[in-house]
Amino acid sequence: MVSEASTGVVSYGLSVERLEPTPPEAIPLVLGDTVTGAVNPPTAQDSFTFDGITTGTYEITTSLASGSPSNVCMNVYQPNGTSVYGACTCQGCFPVSSSSVQTDVTPTQDGTYLVVVDAAGNDGISDYDLDVACLLGTCQKGKTKCLLEDTPSYDSSTGTLTMNFTVGTPYQATWNGWLSYGSVTELLWSQAQAITEPPVTVVKTQTKVPKSGTVGILSTLTTAKSGITCSSWDLINTGTP
C-alpha cells in the first residue's frame, strides 16, 4: 500500500527488485571488465551478478561518471538474498562526499552474488561505472567455455525433428532456436538459460515438420552485454517433398 503522510497530493515512482533467486534480467559481470551504466528513470534499479567462491576476495567498486546529475548507491547481496554491504556517494551517508563506493567481499559460500545500483534518494537519475576485481586469492573456478552443439535427427514417418543439444555456459544467457526450410525461417524457442557447468544434454523436439529437403537449425546463446556468445548451425535432410 502507498499513502501520503498527511492530506496532500504527491507524485511517486515505484520499483521492485527480486533478490533471491537472482533476477533473470541481471547482467553477468566479468572480473576486471568495467561496465558503464545509467539509472534512468528515477526509482529504477540496475542489477548485476558475479560468481563468488570461497577461495577469493572480491572488490566491487561503483563510481560516479563525470557530470552525473545524481549520486549513486550500491548494495551487494549474498546468494541467499541477505545484504553484504550498502552505501552511497551522497552527503549524509558513508563514505561522505566520495565519488565512488567500494566494498570487499570474501564469500562464505560459493554462489551467485547480486549487485544492485540505484540513484541516491531514489528520486533522480545517475550515470556510473561498475567494476568487480579479484583482490586476493583465487576468484574463479575452471570456467566452462560457452558451448552449444546439436546432433539432429528426423523421423519421416511422423514428421518429428529431434535436436540433441549439448549446452554449457558460465553465465546466464538467452537461448534461441530457429528452423529454416524453403523460404521460411521459424522461431522455435527463446528462453532464459541458467549457468550450466559442466555442460548438459538437452533434447528438444519439433513435430509436424514437413519433408522439405535439407533444412537448417540455427541456435544461439546471447547476453545483453556480449551479444551472441556461441552458436550452432546444423543441416539435416528431411527427404523430398
Task: Using the 3D structure, point to which of 137, 166, 189 is the last residue of a domain.
Answer: 137
Q: Would you say residue 166 has pLDDT above 70? A: yes
Integer angstrom CA distances of residue 37 from 48, 51, 191, 200, 227: 11, 20, 25, 33, 17
pLDDT at 8: 72
Count other C-beta atoms under 10 Å from residue 61's C-beta. 16
SS3 72: strand
**Where are any strands of DSSP class E within the chain?**
27-28, 35-39, 45-52, 56-64, 72-77, 83-88, 100-105, 111-119, 126-137, 147-155, 160-169, 173-181, 184-193, 196-206, 214-223, 227-237
Encode burial over 216-236: b for 16+ CB neighbours within 10 A, e otherwise.
ebbbbbbbeeeeebbebeeeb
Q: Would you say residue 201 has pLDDT above 70? A: yes
Name the pairing type of β-strands 45-52 and 27-28.
Answer: parallel
Residue 118: CB partners within 8 Å, gap ≥ 6? 39, 43, 44, 45, 46, 72, 73, 126
pLDDT at 63: 85
pLDDT band at 171 (very low <50, low <70, confident <90, very high): confident
pLDDT at 193: 93
Residue 238: CB partners within 8 Å, gap ≥ 6? 154, 156, 161, 181, 209, 210, 211, 212, 213, 214, 215
State mean pLDDT over 114-136.
85
Q: What is the pLDDT of residues 39-97, one digit of tens each?
A: 877 778 889 999 899 999 999 998 888 777 677 888 899 998 888 876 665 544 444 44
Asked whether residue 73 is assigned to any structural domain, the reply reads yes
pLDDT at 145: 76
Q: Would you say residue 185 has pLDDT above 60? A: yes
Q: What is the pLDDT of residues 4-46, one digit of tens each?
A: 777 777 665 666 767 767 887 888 888 888 888 888 777 788 8
Asked whether residue 20 is assigned to any structural domain, the reply reads no
Residue 11: CB partners within 8 Å, gap ≥ 6? none
Claim to verify: residue 152 and residue 118 sit in the same structural domain: no
SS3 169: strand
Asked whether residue 157 is assigned to any structural domain, the reply reads yes
Domain that holds residue 162: 147-237
At 121, give phi and psi (nearest 5°).
85, -10
**Cell matching residue 56:** 577469493
pLDDT at 89: 55
Q: Would you say residue 133 has pLDDT above 90? A: yes
* Overall pTM > 0.95: no
First to last CA, the chain: 61
C-alpha–C-alpha distance, residues 87 and 61, integer Å: 11
What CATH number is attached to the domain comprising 159? 2.60.40.10
Claim to verify: residue 122 and residue 151 sit in the same structural domain: no
Which of 21-30, 125-134, 170-179, 217-226 has the weakest average pLDDT? 21-30
The one-letter code for the residue type at 181 is Y
Claim to verify: residue 151 and residue 132 sit in the same structural domain: no
Number of domains in the chain: 2
Nearest to 133 by CA among 46, 60, 44: 60
Task: Using the 3D structure, point to which of 137, 157, 175 is the last residue of a domain.
Answer: 137
Percentage of the chain lying above the pLDDT 70 cut: 86
- Asked whether the beta carbons of 75 and 26 are under 8 A apart, the reply is no
